[in-house]
Structure formats: structure tokens, C-alpha cells
A and B are shown apart, each in its own frame.
Chain A
Amino acid sequence: MATDSLAPARRSNFSRLATFLYQHPRVALALLLGPPLLWLGVVYLGALLTLVAQSFFHLDAYSGKIVRELTLATYADLLSQAENYRIVIRTAGMAAAVTLGAVVIAFPLAYFMTRYASPRLRALLYLAVLLPLWSNYLVRVFAWKIILAKEGIFGWFINLLHLGWALDALLKIPLIGGPSLANSMIGMFLVFLYVWLPYMILPVQAALERLPRSLLEASGDLGAKPYQTFRYVILPLVFPGVVAGSIFTFSLTLGDFIIPEAFGTSEFFIGRAVYVYQGTSGNLPLAAAFTLIPIVIMGIYLYLAKRLGAFEAL
């Protein structure tokens, strides 16, 4: 019976289709790419375009209704308020700090994983990096809220080291300080760093993995001391990986609204501003205009990265 299922009639139907597709590669391509392009076009780009369109409407101040005609009034509104600039700078500054912190922590760890760890230890470290991503984001964020609270485990540990005075001094610094770690920019930075770090480690580690050992040996052989090998060989060749990671850490920090909400002081961040404008104040056009700011910032960021030669070694 088994051989009967390969009866000539059925086979030829199937192979006729295969032959047809082989002879009409454009049809095959359309069949393959159609569904994903449709998904991408409608769900991603469509939503984004709706958002862009929304930002060119404006909210009528008296009726509280959205006026659906094209105008730059919302943008004028956005750009005329000094507070909005502060929100953007605050958010971008936080995103930059988180990215920098992530690079500083991720690089040595990824380097160790690639060059020194045994396969077993490497697998364990991979797991350690990925494990936090498998648990719920909100749970982790609010766990940190408790850890960093005034009476929390972090403060307890600091006091155990008799460093309570240092923490207090740190929290007294204007702009980054606050009543406690759980309500300060420093605390927010720590939590951002915690949630986005894996997104930096993985691409940096992948880039280091692609770096042949013989290149490092050649550099040392030609007289370069370890820091020179790092400067002239490792960094330029791993930089695309760092940029890839920083795209994640930077854009994820730019758009997040839960962590600023939970750990923030009264200061607004972009994500929180969007949340408040579209929700509480019902100003959808202004929220949409605000949403485009991270996209513009990422555009500028990628342009600068390209100018720096981040993608040349790809």
C-alpha cells in the first residue's frame, strides 16, 4: 500500500505544480513573500502611517474633539512648550546612559563567554543571560521596586557595609537623586540596565564569536599590546554588534513607560507623556506627535553610527 500512495496520477499533479513554480520564479516569489509583506505592510507600516496621519490632526481646545483636517498645529503645540524639550532630553539622556552602562557590563562578559569559558560554562552563562527574559516584565520591575525601596534589601545591604551615608549623599544630588532609590533617576537607571542588558550581551557576543582568534594572535605577533589589539582590531570588528545591541537598549528605553512610572519622580519621560496625552487628556494627535520623536531620534542615531563606520565591517 505504501508504494501505492506514490501513484503516478497524484505524483504528476504535484510535480506539475513544482515544475510550474520552477518555470515561473516570480509566481513562487510572490507566494512566498506575499503573506509576510502583507503582515508587515498592514500591521507595522500601516499602524505607523495611521499614527503619522493622526499627528497632523489637532485637538479642539474648547470642544475637546479631534479635528480631522491636516494641520501643523499639534507640532507647533509640541515644539512651543519648553517642558517637552526637557522630556525629550531627559529620556534620550537616560537611554544613552543605559546603553553606555550596558556596553560596559556586556563587553567583558561576552568576551569571557567567547574566549575563555568552557562550552559547559558558556551554556550556563547563556542561560543566565536569557533566563530573566522568560519571566514576566511587570513582576521583575515591581520586584525591583521592593528591592530598592527605602527599607528594602538593597538599603539593608548598604547599611551592612556602613555605606548608608554614601547612598544618602548620592540621593541628595539634584536631577539624579530623590527621596529613595525607588524614586530617583539612579534607581530608574539600575532597573533599565537590568531589563535591557541581555539585548546588549547577545549581539556583542555573536560579533565576538565571528572574530577569528588568529586575528588577535596576528595583532599581538605584530607587536600590539593587549589594549592596542582591543583598540585597533577587536573594537572596530565588534562595533557593529555593539551598535546592534545599542539599537535595542536605546530604543527600548526611549519607548518604555512603565519603569519611569514606577521609579520616577514627578518628571515626565516620553513614554509616560504619550500615555498621559492619549489617556487622561485624550489628546491623541499630541500623543502621536510625541511617539514620532523616538523614531526621529533613532533615525539620527543610526545615521551617526553609519557615519562612524559602524557598518563597514559587516
Chain B
Amino acid sequence: MPSSSTPAIRFTNVSRHFGEVKAVDEISLDILDGEFFTLLGPSGSGKTTCLRMLAGFDQPTTGSILLHGRDVTGLPPYERDVNTVFQDYALFPHMSVGENVAYGLMIRQVPKAEREKRVEEVLELVRLPGFARRRPSQLSGGQRQRVALARALINNPRVLLLDEPLGALDFKLRQQMQIELKAIQKRVGITFVFVTHDQEEALTMSDRIAVFDHGQIEQVGTPAELYEHPATAFVAGFVGVSNLVNGPVAQAITGSPTMFSIRPEKIHLTDPSAPMPEDSYCVEGHVREVIYLGMYTRYLVELKGGGELTVMEQNLHTTSMDVLAAQGRTVRLTWRHDHVRLIPEKAR
């Protein structure tokens, strides 16, 4: 059993500066043993730099990194018990798939017979049995991805680092690989640290997520926590879609000018003459735009007191004809008090 007292990874006040640019700025973070942990953020937010510092490709300007309680700050990559799946896969073009996968074992001078056995096992795990003799150039993107995964997993690392590994795959394949990656992680039980800018991907796979922006961590939490209780305006906007309301418009709705966020799918679009529901905020407006999306419809509603809200409704009983007819109509928007998330001034 993994001991719960020592985290798999501990960042303590880690910064990485490139000249004037603070790519990573005073980050402290614990990642637990056996967790599927995602570093989520837009490009340039510092998530990849954090991963590279974990792998040892980059060193912190200040601060320390512990792996299973051992200080690895300043150690080269080959002295760390982590392996990486690269964004561009980084397969060795002059080696066969089998030689690529066996590379780590070859370096550690594992006998050839055992190497071949383990290669076949791990290729089985990533569902590429019998591919050992092929060349990387003969594989599709998804297959290369699996080879890269196998090459890392064969070393039984205690932590696996994945740097946007699904970025180059098409949508369908990406969804399939997300589920597969999660299944593999459960099966091998090692800590996965996954970097992505795709919030849906993060929500699909992660046990916990750290949301990065401008070299700092905005919030760490489970997918549900981040979605339902975003701590900052950035998290509310980056994880899923949010309406952010503040100032006089907020005052008119809630009676307080404090900024709040409300998810588009939590808002109900009703007729102004309908009875007002209990424990809910109500506001009237007219529909400026209707965007029919098949499963959903997105309405952009201009409020009477100024401001605009996005509303999402599932097309359970309605057809495109019905929803498109709403264009220009006056409507009432209602949502429950407990779906509102207040965002205090200092967290913006």
C-alpha cells in the first residue's frame, strides 16, 4: 500500500525564471501516490515547465522538488525514478518499435531474453501485440502514442509524466485514448502527472486538477470541486463556461455588487408570465441570439438592466424550429440561489 503520509511529489516554493519572465512563480503543490493528477492551463501558464522540472529537463531557479520524500532538485533526468511521454512522442527513428520500448531496459543492462519478454507484455498492455519489429515511421499517430506510453511504462516508474500526449490525435481517437489511459493508470497503479490545456480532457481523467495561470496555481481540487466551486474568476471561466456578473448588474440581481458566477446550464429560460420559483434569482431580458447545437441550444440573452447572460438548454422535447422561434422574444431567466458562486475581490 502506498503510504499516505509522504506525497509522491512535493513542490515547495518552486520558481523558474527565464530572464525577466517568471514562467513558474512560487508554486507549492503536493501530489499523492497513485493519483491521476492533471496540470491544466492555457499555453504559457507554466504547467509544462513544472513537468519539465519534475523530469529534470529544467531546473528550478529557486525552491525544491521532492520525489517520494527524496530531494531531486538539481539532479539530472537519468537519476530520477520518473518517465515521460512526450508531446511529439520522441520515438527513436533508427530503432524498431521493440528497440524503442526496450531502450530503458537496455540501458540498465537487463538480459536480452527478459527484455524481449517484457516488451511483448507491455505492448500487450497498450494493445499493440506483435508490433515489436515494425519501424516507428510505419505507425499511425495513435499507435506511436501507445509505443511512447509502452516505452515509459516498461521501466516501472513510480511516477509517469505525460506532456499533452493526446494533443496531436483527432477528436474520436483522443476520447478513446482518454478512457484507455485512465484504465491503464488504474491497472498499473502508479502516479500519473498529466499536462493539458483541454479542460474536458482534464475533467474526464483526473482524480485531482491544478489550474495554472501566469505561472501560478489558481486552484487545486477534484473535477467536481473545480466545476461547482471555482475559487477564482479565471477557474470559473477556464473550467467549463461561466457567466461572470459584477457591479450594478449583480447588485440588481442579488442585491450585492460582489462578482458571482453562474453556469449557463443552471439558468432556466421561462415565459415572463410563468410563476416565480422559490429560492431563485429572477431577471428579465430579451433573446438576442439563438445558436442551435443539436443536443443543446445556446441563447444569448440581453438583460433589461444591462449585461448579457449565456443560457444552455438541452433539446429534450424541443426541435430546432421551436428554439429558433425564441429569437427576439422577451423571457425571464431564473436560477437557484445555491448555484451561484460568489467570487471575492482578491480572487480575480
Show the binding face of A for B, using Cβ within 8 Å.
212, 214-215, 217-225, 228, 232-233, 236-237, 312-313
CB-CB under 8 A from B82, the residues of chain A are 221
Query: Min CB distance, A221 to chain B, in Å?
Result: 5
> In whole angstroms, what is the CA distance A233 to B88 when docked?
17
B94 close to A236 (CB less than 8 A): yes
Q: Find the A residue at minimum CB distance from B102.
A: A222
Q: Find the B residue at minimum CB distance from A309.
A: B94
CB-CB under 8 A from B16, the residues of chain A are none
CB-CB under 8 A from A218, the residues of chain B are 84, 86, 90, 92, 151
* In the complex, B171 has a CB within 8 A of chain A: no
A223 close to B92 (CB less than 8 A): no
Q: Find the A residue at minimum CB distance from B82.
A: A221
Tally A-B pairs: CB < 8 A: 63
CB-CB under 8 A from B93, the residues of chain A are 237, 313
Query: Min CB distance, A242 to chain B, in Å?
Result: 14
Per-residue CB proximity of B64-86 to A under 8 Å, as 1/0? Answer: 00000000000011100011101
Known: A217-B55, A312-B94, A313-B93. A223 touches B108 (CB 8 A): yes
Known: A212-B88, A214-B88, A228-B107. A221 touches B94 (CB 8 A): no
Q: Find the A residue at minimum CB distance from B163.
A: A214
B86 close to A220 (CB less than 8 A): no
CB-CB under 8 A from A225, the residues of chain B are 78
B103 close to A222 (CB less than 8 A): yes
CB-CB under 8 A from A237, the residues of chain B are 93-94
Query: Min CB distance, A247 to chain B, in Å?
Result: 20
B83 close to A215 (CB less than 8 A): no
B107 close to A217 (CB less than 8 A): no
A222 close to B94 (CB less than 8 A): no
A222 close to B104 (CB less than 8 A): yes
* In the complex, B56 has a CB within 8 A of chain A: yes
A217 close to B104 (CB less than 8 A): no
A223 close to B86 (CB less than 8 A): no
> In whole angstroms, what is the CA distance A178 to B93 when docked?
49
B94 close to A313 (CB less than 8 A): yes
Write 11 A-B pairs (CB below 8 A) sorted by A numbering: A212-B90, A214-B86, A217-B55, A218-B90, A220-B77, A221-B57, A221-B78, A221-B84, A222-B78, A222-B104, A222-B152
B56, B76, B94 interface centre (most CB from chain A within 10 Å): B94
B151 close to A222 (CB less than 8 A): yes
Q: Find the A residue at minimum CB distance from B161.
A: A221
B90 close to A215 (CB less than 8 A): yes
Given contact pairs A218-B84, A218-B86, enumerate 12 new A-B contacts (beta carbons under 8 Å). A212-B90, A215-B92, A217-B84, A217-B90, A220-B56, A221-B55, A222-B103, A222-B151, A222-B152, A222-B155, A223-B78, A223-B155
> In whole angstroms, what is the CA distance A164 to B90 when docked?
52
> In whole angstroms, what is the CA distance A236 to B87 when docked?
23
CB-CB under 8 A from A217, the residues of chain B are 55, 57, 77, 84, 86, 90
CB-CB under 8 A from B104, the residues of chain A are 222-223
Q: Find the B residue at minimum CB distance from A218.
A: B90
> In whole angstroms, what is the CA distance A218 to B107 when docked?
12
Query: Min CB distance, B291 to chain A, in Å?
Result: 40
> In whole angstroms, what is the CA distance A228 to B78 when docked?
11
> In whole angstroms, what is the CA distance A312 to B135 when docked?
12
Query: Min CB distance, A223 to chain B, in Å?
Result: 5
Query: Min CB distance, B105 to chain A, in Å?
Result: 9
A223, A225, A233 interface centre (most CB from chain B within 10 Å): A223
> In whole angstroms, what is the CA distance A225 to B155 when docked?
16
Which B205-256 residues sit within 8 Å CB-CB of chain A? none
CB-CB under 8 A from B84, the residues of chain A are 217-218, 221
Q: Find the A residue at minimum CB distance from B80.
A: A221
> In whole angstroms, what is the CA distance A212 to B86 when docked?
12
Known: A217-B57, A217-B77, A218-B84. A224 touches B107 (CB 8 A): yes
9 tightest Cβ-Cβ pairs between the two chains A and B: A214-B90, A220-B77, A222-B104, A218-B90, A313-B94, A223-B107, A221-B84, A224-B107, A221-B77
Query: Min CB distance, A233 to chain B, in Å?
Result: 6
CB-CB under 8 A from A212, the residues of chain B are 88, 90
Query: Min CB distance, A301 to chain B, in Å?
Result: 22
B56, B88, B107 interface centre (most CB from chain A within 10 Å): B107
CB-CB under 8 A from A233, the residues of chain B are 92
A212, A215, A312 interface centre (most CB from chain B within 10 Å): A215
Query: Min CB distance, A207 to chain B, in Å?
Result: 12
CB-CB under 8 A from B77, the residues of chain A are 217, 220-221
> In whole angstroms, what is the CA distance A236 to B95 when docked?
10
CB-CB under 8 A from B56, the residues of chain A are 220-221
Q: Find the B residue at minimum CB distance from A222.
A: B104
Per-residue CB proximity of B50-64 to A under 8 Å, as 1/0? Answer: 000001110000000
CB-CB under 8 A from B76, the residues of chain A are 220
CB-CB under 8 A from B55, the residues of chain A are 217, 221
Query: Min CB distance, A173 to chain B, in Å?
Result: 41
CB-CB under 8 A from B103, the residues of chain A are 219, 222, 224, 232
A221 close to B83 (CB less than 8 A): yes
Query: Min CB distance, B216 to chain A, in Å?
Result: 26
